Amino acid sequence: MKFQELIGKEVQVLCVDEDNLIDWWEWGKVDYATDDYIVLKNESGDYVLVQKGEVREIYAVDKRTKVYSRKK
């Protein structure tokens, strides 16, 4: 699935920083997306930019299904 297809959907994003071997979750409604990044608007109304290289997996909250997984 392309990032642009996620616009308007509530998602959870599993992010990873492979240089520092850490991972974390971001969640919110996809406000804007390109092939290289997505912009989420979280519950607080803040915007979060997530670069494609940081994304490991994306889950759609409404269906609780994986909608994106990084290719190795």
Q: Which two tokens stand for residue 29?
A: 């409604």
Q: Which domains does the chain have, with CATH numbers?
A: 3-69 (2.30.30.100)
Average pLDDT over every residue of 21-38: 96
Q: Is 19 helix (H, G, I), strand (E, B) or coil?
A: coil
| pLDDT tier for residue 71 given thresholds of 50, 70 and 90 | confident
Which long-range contacts link 39-48 to residues 24+ away (Cβ below 8 Å)? 40/11, 40/13
Residue of 71 and 46 predicted with greater confidence: 46
| Amino acid identity for residue 67 in this structure | V
Residue of 38 and 67 predicted with greater confidence: 38
| pLDDT tier for residue 72 given thresholds of 50, 70 and 90 | low
Separation CA 40–CA 27 (nearest Å) = 7
Average pLDDT over every residue of 9-21: 93
